[in-house]
Structure 1
Amino acid sequence: MYDIIGDVHGYATLLKKLLLEMGYKKTNGSFYHESRKAIFVGDFINRGPEIRKTIRIIKAMVEAGHAYAVLGNHELNAIIYHLKDKQGRSIINKPSKYFLSLFKTINEYSAQSLEWRENLKWLRTLPLFLDFGEIRVVHACWSDQAIQTAAGLYEDGRLRKKVFRKVYKKNNSEEAKCMWLLTKGINMNMPSDLRVMNNKGVSPRSFRIKWWENLAGYDFRTASFESKFTMPAYTIPKEIVPATFPYPEDAPILFFGHYCRGVGPYLIKPNICCVDSCVTGTKSLLAYRWSGEKELNMNHLVKMSM
């Protein structure tokens, strides 16, 4: 049986409280449960005040066999940011906004550079998804084709640096599309000649969408899976309806994070659950305690607050 834990983002104290609340005990340097294992959905780093401690907890649990963890987009960005070319120079000429949140992690490891390098190596051993038959776990989006591609990217149990170099330098490669889809989901990119105002008076050029639905005939509000703003209830023109990956009702239960749900809802469908409670904003961490049920149950959610 498994406890699926949402995006921790460096809140180690909150993670410890949640683990203890669920009956985990610290033994030989690792949190352990007699009959259950934890599963972390990615995004362990950045934002919070205890990033180094967070990685230590999760890494110790995974290495001791007490937990599983998948990669999130924040971990992918961290790995890419530290890649060098053949001359030993950073492959990144100009860091984009997606790398800005890394500086908090880098600063926390400023006096422990060796430990950080070892952690980066460890991150490359983590899977991009988990499929246990009755349940599945991914950071942001499940696509059968992307899952198949991801499974073939590992050599000797790890993602090689050459894969990440290709992801960064060739953003339209199959490797890049696969890894970003699994860890970032799908954003609807608005055409340049269409302006739609959200509830904050801003016209977003892109927004996160419900990739598990067929969005034909949907309006912008219903299609959106944003946490920061609400889109208007205008029908999406059929010419710009994005391609998605509808998730069948009879498919295994799927858990993911990434979407910063705040106060919820977390159970999206009987077989789809987002466990990201937006720890940075709400100061709360969420877990779902799966015990073999075929449909998700609200009573199996556990939330721990500061």
Structure 2
Amino acid sequence: MYDIIGDVHGQATLLKKLLQKMGYEKTNGSFSHPGRKAIFVGDFINRGTEIRKTIKIIRSMVESGNAFAILGNHEINAIIYHLTDKQDSLLVKRPNRYYPALIKTIKEFSSPREAEWKDNLNWMRTLPLFLDFGDIRIVHACWSDEAVAIAASVYEEGRIKKKTFRTIHKKADDDITKSVWLLTKGILLKMPSDLHVVNNKGVAPRSFRMRWWEETAGMSFRNLSFESKYTLPDYTVPLQIIPENEPYPNDAPIVFFGHYCRGRGPIVVKPNICCVDSCVTGSGVLTAYRWSGERQLDVGNIVQVK
């Protein structure tokens, strides 16, 4: 059975504490459990102060068969940031939008650890974009059958090749690009320039993260939003501005994901929807869900450390 662990973001001490609380012990350089495996939902780099240690823990567990891990948008950004083109020049020109989020990770792997960081980037490319175990599914931000099918096609010979990440960086309208970002960033509702909806902080956001699993027609801004930092009003969202989405059926397998920084919850959103990202760098809480074969999620199976 599986323990699905939310976005760690460089919090190695909390990760160790969570693993130990769930009965994992370190032997032969890796944390393991006699009857369970961990699953990491991505975004284990950036933000925290123990990024290198975090990667060591997760990578050792994956490579020893004690865990699975998938890519989050932070790992994808890191891979793209360090790519070179055919002339061996950096693909991403500096400075750029990736750098502020990556700065802590880059500093931890500065001289003399550049080779170690390069090796970790190569290892990250061996991680999938989703996992489907039949009864449960794991993705970083949003499950889409169509995006999953496309993402499965880019995983070749045990890794995602660099050409795929070059496509993601260069071709915004490519099906691969759109599928990868859908799986790892979810659906963002972007406000038209002439529409201003003020949240409870007195700010009019230009976009917000959607509850991608819902049937959106007739929903209010508040109910459609899955933002953690503010609340939107109860005005009905005009159908013309809602992006296309694929509601997640109530009878579909349980899906676990991270990404949304739910420091105040909910963790279990619906009987088959679970967001294990508890905003570790903001709330100081790291979350796992212990799945043991149940068909419907049970809040009693949530484990947290602070």
Question: TM-score under structure 1 normalisation?
Answer: 0.98
Asked if residue 34 in structure 1 is aligned to residue 43 in structure 2, the reply is: no
Tell me the secondary structure at the aligned position of residue 38 of structure 2.
Answer: strand
Cα deviation, residue 83, structure 1: 0.4
Cα deviation, residue 97, structure 1: 3.1
2:120 matched residue in structure 1: 119
1:13-49 CA distances to partner (integer Å, 9 max, x unpaired)? 0000000000000010000000000000000000001
Tell me the secondary structure at the aligned position of residue 48 of structure 2.
Answer: coil
| Aligned 1:31-180 pairs, distance under 5 A | 31-93=31-93, 95-111=95-111, 112-180=113-181
Cα deviation, residue 259, structure 1: 0.2
Cα deviation, residue 99, structure 1: 3.5
Cα deviation, residue 129, structure 1: 0.2
1:248-270 CA distances to partner (integer Å, 9 max, x unpaired)? 11101100000000021110100
Cα deviation, residue 230, structure 1: 1.0
* AA at the equivalent of 2:60: A
Tell me how many residue pairs correspond in the alignment. 305
How far apart, in 1, do the equivalents of 2:226 and 2:117 lie? 34
Cα deviation, residue 93, structure 1: 2.6
* AA at the equivalent of 2:202: G
Greater CA deviation, 227-236 or 294-303?
Answer: 227-236
2:189 matched residue in structure 1: 188
Q: Which runs of 4+ in 1 moved over 4 A?
A: none
The answer as to whether partners of 2:81 and 2:98 remain within 8 angstroms in 1 is no
Tell me the secondary structure at the aligned position of residue 100 of structure 1.
Answer: helix
The answer as to whether partners of 1:77 and 1:99 remain within 8 angstroms in 2 is no
The answer as to whether partners of 1:44 and 1:55 remain within 8 angstroms in 2 is yes
1:37-87 CA distances to partner (integer Å, 9 max, x unpaired)? 000000000000100000000000000000000000000000000001122
Asked if residue 229 in structure 1 is aligned to residue 245 in structure 2, the reply is: no
Asked if residue 247 in structure 1 is aligned to residue 248 in structure 2, the reply is: yes
1:279 matched residue in structure 2: 280
Tell me the secondary structure at the aligned position of residue 4 of structure 1.
Answer: strand
Quick one: structure 1 residues 94 and 214, their matched pair in 2 at CA, closer, same or farther if it must change by over 3 Å? farther
The answer as to whether partners of 2:24 and 2:31 remain within 8 angstroms in 1 is yes
The answer as to whether partners of 1:215 and 1:242 remain within 8 angstroms in 2 is no
Asked if residue 23 in structure 1 is aligned to residue 43 in structure 2, the reply is: no
The answer as to whether partners of 2:228 and 2:264 remain within 8 angstroms in 1 is no
Greater CA deviation, 30-39 or 89-98?
Answer: 89-98
Cα deviation, residue 245, structure 1: 1.6
1:198 matched residue in structure 2: 199
1:113-169 CA distances to partner (integer Å, 9 max, x unpaired)? 011000000000000000000000000000000000000001211000000001100
2:10 matched residue in structure 1: 10
Cα deviation, residue 95, structure 1: 4.6
How far apart, in 1, do the equivalents of 2:202 and 2:94 lie? 31
How far apart, in 1, do the equivalents of 2:258 and 2:71 lie? 11
Greater CA deviation, 36-45 or 233-242?
Answer: 233-242
Question: TM-score under structure 2 normalisation?
Answer: 0.98
% identical aligned pairs? 65
* AA at the equivalent of 2:36: R
* AA at the equivalent of 1:280: T
How far apart, in 1, do the equivalents of 2:95 and 2:66 lie? 36
How far apart, in 1, do the equivalents of 2:295 and 2:282 lie? 32
2:291 matched residue in structure 1: 290
How far apart, in 1, do the equivalents of 2:65 and 2:257 lie? 21
* AA at the equivalent of 1:59: R
How far apart, in 1, do the equivalents of 2:63 and 2:154 lie? 21
How far apart, in 1, do the equivalents of 2:289 and 2:142 lie? 18
| Aligned 1:197-216 pairs, distance under 5 A | 197-216=198-217
Where do 5+ consecutive residues of structure 2 fail to align?
none
